[in-house]
Structure 1
């Protein structure tokens, strides 16, 4: 303790500044002696050893062993067992083994996990960026990580760019046999049947210039249940004449040449993975039933051989112009013959390529373009156009020309060379050149450019350049769409070439999407989405069962006080069937009078027994929640409405008749006769049609929302401009909880209030299958509604309105399952806008 000299017993205050240099000067002899001792021990080397530094991994050799192990497995280093001591063998980790397995590019087949789940060829790319889900036997990208938002940005990319989706989980089934037998087979299971098309369309389908879409049914069962929507296409055949005059001559005399039993044809049907097995069984049984002693048809599955990439957006053909460089086009396509013949450079493949992609909007819907394209990884962009990459593709063209000279010069040999790789099941397509080989070749060319190449490396360059897998046969399908500005194309190619095209598309500006984003695009365009918009298929029931299990599992982890209201998943479609035959009045009431004839009236006790029987019947049909049919064609809708009533007010699209709905809507005498339905006819299965819903003023319609029939007063409440809609039509919260009640057996039932005079209850006529897309300017939802109830609503709304105020749309009420408010919406029947509703995504 330092004592202050001024005051006895008081410690001295420490100084405010410390001079280190004074301390060092006083300790200098000691520091110099210590430094000399340390310098002698370390030989004047004061650098710190790297393996002794802190926060480094230099002292641990696990990283070096990991790199050596990966180099040995990939074949880039010496093969052998890895051991830390030099002798003990050590097994490679599962992660490394799986990465090596997924990087392989086998000619056919998928990589499967331990439980048999298949992985797409782009699985590694998607697993790093998307949320993967196990569905339909595949690991499929569900969507981007997060809460399921991002639809607004996606729609902007749809309008100003290109979206790409790997649809390789779709299965291809190939039918082989005589042409007449194949037509008989597909006519028995497809609705609409290809033979029911017009003459020119049938000819284009048989030649292979266009593809068709239809609903696949099971012909082996008496009820003909629906399996799934399919896309079918014939293998191109040059024997069928493409001369239009000769075609009209054949059609006028005997029809197209479809009775030739000696011509062996091939047919592809593309089916969603959810119904692929069921479709294969149905087609196999149809082939067996349509086989006679001499002519037989065979059903072959092409799973694991072909892939499908879907391109959607406004700049699809700009992307194809950047990435595809055809070696040869199929000039048998009448569109290419008609368009390219007038072009001044029709002999050059590059000019045909440029003209085709720059005028892609002129290609008709459902067109099939076949081409042999070069490896897209060997193309460089010059001014936004794909250009061959010098030496490699020059040798490729020479190799292709030499193959053409050695082959037979007739048209059949040229046809086999162009289409044989994709259509022949016995021929395996060569996979593309490995990425490592391409990178080594590019590195070698760069070294030669800078004069750094070694002598004697010419043989290696020759091996890299001359290869049989530098070109690929592809089929380009242009799909139809409601949106004129949005183009939808599908690219069919060998499975081993998927990663080469996928990486090229993504690197050139395409935006990858998953199942969730694909559903948003379908809702924006106005197309049905499988399986959510197809409740008459078994795939819909299986998917909804998985979704209900997922929702219930999430609800278990939420406290009971915070759990959301439990709603039926899937919607109770039989509640609409229960209301079939009920009549809506205009006095502000809902009367539950069942239409019966005088001979079928029974007493109260018999009515109770009949209701109990109906309840038993519903409980027995619990395994099949959807009881009814969905009209996908105008013929089906017309047949149903004619069977239940001779005078109906739904007007399907009719070929050759323009403005049919508009003319009947302006007819004053059309609604003079009343519509009467018999009880026997009303008990038939209900028929649903797909409608597009647009909110009249406001409202957001979610998936699963109930579509109800409005009264005349409800419509006036919204449409009247003089009255303010301060109190919209609502139901109480207790009514929302008791609207659909789940029985102990698990079935959901509709509860009708006892006091129907003062109640705001409205009878359901359908359900929303595709809700609004957030950020969409159109705000359109898709729903399925009962056809006869829609016809009655249109009749009532046209009777109440003057002729000049009649609308094509039908007013309906929509209420979300957990909401209390009804919203007025305008429903547009899709079959009134087009003849078929078989296009899907």
Structure 2
């Protein structure tokens, strides 16, 4: 007890309780005088003015409102609506039942609507602020309310803050089995194969230190289109006494002599989850000659993924992810854990970091907070691995976080204890609460490859029941939520492909485009015929690129036509006919198949010197008598590459715009610095705009050229590809994503290097872009991604 030194026995500490009535009695005269002054000013009318009553009815104590509150409390105690109906009570309204259902925090699974559509754990938060869209079996936030604008402000927040996206709609498949069997499964379905990576990278992936990205295919059917891009990671290898990971060797045995069972995660987008799961399950069952079989388990509805993007990602994580372990101050592990977020930019790309963190809603050390007991917390990283291992156990679910009401009660009691006022509120016993709930959560942190130096991308993998706790904490610490529309803007800004829009060779793209076409046609039919916009092909008619290749082949004296086995009925063909090279090895293999090693395409391969700049500055390389160059080659399957388009002077390229091959005469005046080029802008006739693409009775679209060949050469340019992600307004880069045929790009580069002076040659390729509802061709520069990066399998 703190006492006064002058007066013995008199305490200076604050009293445990304050008697308010004594204070009022001593100041009664002053209060009466103040009351008389106020009453005189208000003419003794203390009723609130009607024009000032907005949102001030919280003090209303009417009987009807009390009945409504009492009814809500009674409804919350009801476990099943069927019981209330059977007892003859009034049926609970749908709104109340839905609120009760969405506020539940079950350990596993999503809440579903009447038609089976799943709702995210953050559905209520998003539904109040975002436009929701029913797609891929989920209600997913599309974007902020409005006409889809605000990209300029969003990109500013990407550069100066943090964006967060709830990607819980991604599905998870867990593979279990011997290590060699799992490697055989991955090699049969993933491109690029994990075994094809460099030895150091392959060893780190196998040890669980980093994760990998690849395209998922059907096992044993490489000719079929791919399914989807996936992210895969192995469970962290066991650690030794010093805390370092043990080397994982093929053929390592258990104590009983059997092979060690490893576990592997494969994250898949919801648009292709079922198709991908069937492919992985079929690949596991096909490994019959390897001894022990691999097992494929669906973990959908158990784990969630939150994606963070921005320049201050690690500052946000430093505030919210507080390690719960008490490490030894002398160990190497402690220094890594404590500085992981302070030096987050030094973490290598594709790194996997496992943590056991406290409840992000936990209070800070202010207000005299009592320190938590450390008996239930791990004392070493080996104990953390046990907690982290719960994420990998499909049969065991992690305990959900503490209820919000319990945390509020504890906060209130701590506050009262700090100011020594009032008594503690009684509640459930701590022992019973700890058995049902948890105050710590195991998480995985994945650091993706940075598209820019100033922007960081990370994914936080955590149990589904903990999503609300982390989501609200991220929002409270300054993060900005985004939906699907804003996520595609970020992907375009960073030059990354976006699934499924930038994967036209996948079935998910065909389904997505079919849905987009139905929505566009439905909106157009609601307008009167005079105000309907001109109909354009959705999705783009990729088959017309065959005509361009045929036309260019005929100029060289070669005929291009399908054989009997290659002829495909236009009525029955897929939306996208061809293959997309997403790695340098795939592009090199395509060039070898058509004997086009000398084409002007320079895929970036590790250990080999890129000869792009060497040939670009060689004066004698493109001389007429030089026979080294190859003409346009025709393969059985067209090969497309992803390119980034940037307008030379002006133009905003939309999704679905057609990319055309310019003539040499088109590039010279349009690249001139004088303003005379504006008068020489290439356009198609206004009358032929609607007939450029013709729709067949089956609904398919095809290219229709005028019969006059002179008019065709004058105003028409042959298509070589289409834009899949349009220009983002407000971006300083102003780039669009397109897919163009590889051999046609090589032919254009050769023509332009021969026509342009040596100093004006560029590594980019000049192309013409025309929006579907426009008549003007805009000049753009196309950069081939595989000439800048070895792989293009990353996705966002």
Answer whether TM exceeds 0.5 for this pair.
Answer: yes
The offset of 1:211, in angstroms, is: 0.3
Change (3 A) 1:388 1:366: farther
| Structure 2 counterpart of 1:279 | 276
Change beyond 3 A, Cα 1:245–1:71: closer
- 1:590-621 CA distance string (max 9 Å, x none): xx648537xx9xxxxxx9xx99x999834243
Tell me which of 725, 743, 764 is aligned to 2:696: 743
1:662 to 596, 604, 613: 613
Equivalent position of 1:573 in the other structure: 542
- Structure 1 stretch displaced more, 737-746 or 178-187: 737-746
Q: Name which of 755, 758, 763 aligns with 1:803.
A: 758
How far has the Cα of 1:658 moved from its partner? 4.4
1:307 pairs with one of 300, 304, 307: 304
In 2, are the aligned partners of 1:378 and 1:388 still within 8 Å (CA)?
no
Inter-partner Cα distance in structure 1 for 2:46 and 2:729? 62
Matches within 5 A, 1:283-362: 283-292=280-289, 294-328=291-325, 347=331, 352-362=336-346
- Residue 394 of structure 1 is aligned with which of 372, 377, 383? 372
1:377 to 347, 356, 361: 361
* Pair 1:620–1:820, CA change in 2 (3 A): closer
3-state SS of 2:790 partner: coil
Among 593, 596, 599, which residue is 2:558 paired with? 596
Q: Is 1:673 aligned to 2:650, yes or no? A: no
Distance 1:231 1:357 in 2: 23
Q: CA offset at residue 446 of structure 1?
A: 1.8
Alignment of 1:461-480 (within 5 A): 469-480=438-449
The 1:555/1:329 distance shift into structure 2, 3 A limit, reads farther
Contact 1:227-1:278 within 8 A present in 2 as well: yes
Give the 3 Å change call, closer, same or farther, for CA 203–700 of structure 1 in structure 2. Answer: same
Aligned equivalents of 2:427, 2:267: Cα separation in 1: 46
Residue 338 (structure 1) aligns with? none
Deviation at 1:60, TM superposition (A): 8.3
- Determine the structure 2 residue equivalent to 1:160: 160
The answer to which structure has the higher helix fraction is: 1
Shift of 1:754: 2.2
Distance in 2 between residues matched to 1:329 and 1:630, nearest whole Å: 50
Deviations 1:201-230 (A, max 9, x none): 011101101000000011254623200000
Provide the residue aligned with 1:708 in structure 2: 660
Aligned to 1:74: 76
Given that 1:81 and 1:90 are in contact with CA atoms closer than 8 Å, whether structure 2 keeps it comes out as: no
Task: Quote the residue 1:542 is aligned against.
Answer: 511
CA RMSD of superposed structures (Å): 3.4
User: For 1:825, which of 780, 786, 796 is the aligned residue?
Assistant: 780
Aligned residue for 1:15?
none
Within the candidate set 724, 745, 754, 2:676 is matched to: 724
Per-residue deviation, residues 711-739 of structure 1 (Å, max 9, x unmatched): 11110011123561132111111221111
Do residues 649 (structure 1) and 597 (structure 2) align? no
Which has the larger Rg?
Answer: 1
Any idea what SS the aligned residue of 2:774 has?
coil
Equivalent position SS for 2:709? coil
Confirm or deny: 8 A CA contact 2:640 2:742 kept in the other structure. yes
Paired residues, what number? 730
CA drift of 1:497 comes to 0.3
Q: Mark the CA change 1:507 to 1:755 in structure 2 (over 3 Å): closer, same or farther.
A: same
The answer as to whether partners of 2:238 and 2:245 remain within 8 angstroms in 1 is no
1:266 aligns with 2:228: no
State the partner residue of 2:13. Answer: none
* Preserved CA contact (<8 Å) 1:476 1:492: yes
Could you give the per-residue CA deviations for residues 445-480 of structure 1, whole angstroms, max 9, x where no partner exists? Answer: 222223334379598577668985000000000001
Change in Cα spacing, 1:495 to 1:829, as seen in structure 2 (3 Å) is same
Shift of 1:353: 4.5
Per-residue deviation, 1:423: 0.6
Query: Secondary structure at 1:317's aligned position in 2?
Result: helix
Equivalences for 1:184-223 in 2 at 5 Å? 184-221=184-221, 223=223
Q: Is the 8 A contact 1:215 1:229 kept in 2?
A: yes
2:347 to 342, 348, 363: 363
Q: Distance in 1 between matches of 2:435 and 2:293?
A: 43
Cα deviation, 1:769-816, whole Å, max 9, x if unaligned, reads: 111101111101110000000010111111223434321100000010
Assess, with a 3 A threshold, how the Cα gap between structure 1 residues 140 and 246 changes in structure 2: closer, same or farther: closer
Q: Which residue of 2 aligns with 1:341?
A: none
* Farther off after superposition, 516-525 or 89-98: 89-98
1:379: how far off? 3.7
Equivalent position SS for 1:656: coil
Aligned to 1:774: 729
**Which deviates more, 238-247 or 768-777?**
238-247
Cα offsets for 1:690-711 (capped at 9, x unmatched): 0000111111101110000011
- Indicate conservation of the 8 Å contact 1:441/1:464, yes or no: no
Structure-2 change in CA distance of 1:293 and 1:662 (3 Å): closer
Shift of 1:351: 5.9
Task: Judge conservation of contact 1:346–1:352 (CA < 8 Å) in 2.
Answer: no
Worse-superposed segment, 287-296 or 469-478: 287-296
1:135 maps to what in 2?
135
What are the Cα deviations for residues 349-369 of structure 1, in whole angstroms up to 9, with x where unaligned? 886544211111111100000
Secondary structure class of the residue paired with 1:663:
helix
Question: Do the aligned partners of residues 270 and 779 (structure 1) sit closer, same or farther apart at CA in structure 2, a change above 3 Å counting?
Answer: same
The 5 A counterparts of 1:384-783 are 391=369, 394-395=372-373, 397-401=374-378, 414=383, 416-454=385-423, 460=429, 469-583=438-552, 593=555, 595-596=557-558, 617-622=568-573, 624-644=574-594, 645-671=596-622, 672-673=626-627, 675-676=629-630, 682-722=634-674, 724-727=676-679, 728-758=681-711, 759-783=714-738
Judging changes above 3 Å, is the alpha-carbon distance between structure 1 residues 211 and 583 closer, same or farther for their aligned structure 2 residues?
same
Shift, 1:284, TM fit: 0.6
Alignment-derived partner of residue 170 in structure 1? 170
Alpha-carbon shift at residue 391 of structure 1 (Å): 4.7
Change in Cα spacing, 1:627 to 1:240, as seen in structure 2 (3 Å) is farther
Distance 1:814 1:163 in 2: 32
CA contact (8 A) 2:368 2:418 kept: no
Gaps of 5+ in 2: 1-44, 48-52, 254-258
Q: Deviation of residue 414 (structure 1)? A: 3.3
Deviation at 1:440, TM superposition (A): 1.3
Judging changes above 3 Å, is the alpha-carbon distance between structure 1 residues 478 and 619 closer, same or farther for their aligned structure 2 residues?
Answer: same
Per the alignment, do residues 481 and 558 of structure 1 end up closer, same or farther by CA in structure 2, a change over 3 Å counting? same
Q: CA deviation at 1:510?
A: 0.2
Instruction: Indicate how the Cα distance of structure 1 residues 821 and 436 shifts in structure 2: closer, same or farther if over 3 A, else same.
Output: same
1:499-557 Cα distance to aligned partner (Å, 9 max, x none)? 00000000100000000000110011110000000000000000000100000000011
What is the CA–CA distance in structure 2 between the aligned matches of 1:812 and 1:449, rounded to whole Å?
70
**Whole-angstrom distance in 2 between the partners of 1:522 and 1:751:** 34
Q: Secondary structure at the match of 2:324?
A: strand
Whole-Å Cα distance in 1 between the matches of residues 333 and 744 of structure 2?
A: 57
| Residue aligned with 1:439, SS | helix
In 1, Cα distance between equivalents of 2:242 and 2:544: 52
Counterpart CA distance in 1 for 2:376 and 2:479 is: 32
Residues 765 and 456 (structure 1), Cα distance of their counterparts in 2 relative to 1, 3 Å cut: closer
TM superposition score normalised by structure 1? 0.81
Give, in whole Å, the separation in 1 of the partners of 2:543 and 2:262.
44
Shift of the 374–58 alpha-carbon distance from structure 1 to 2, 3 Å rule, reads closer
Determine the C-alpha separation between the residues in 1 that align with 2:339 and 2:366. 18
CA distance in 1, matches of 2:515, 2:759: 49
- For normalisation by structure 2, the TM-score amounts to 0.85
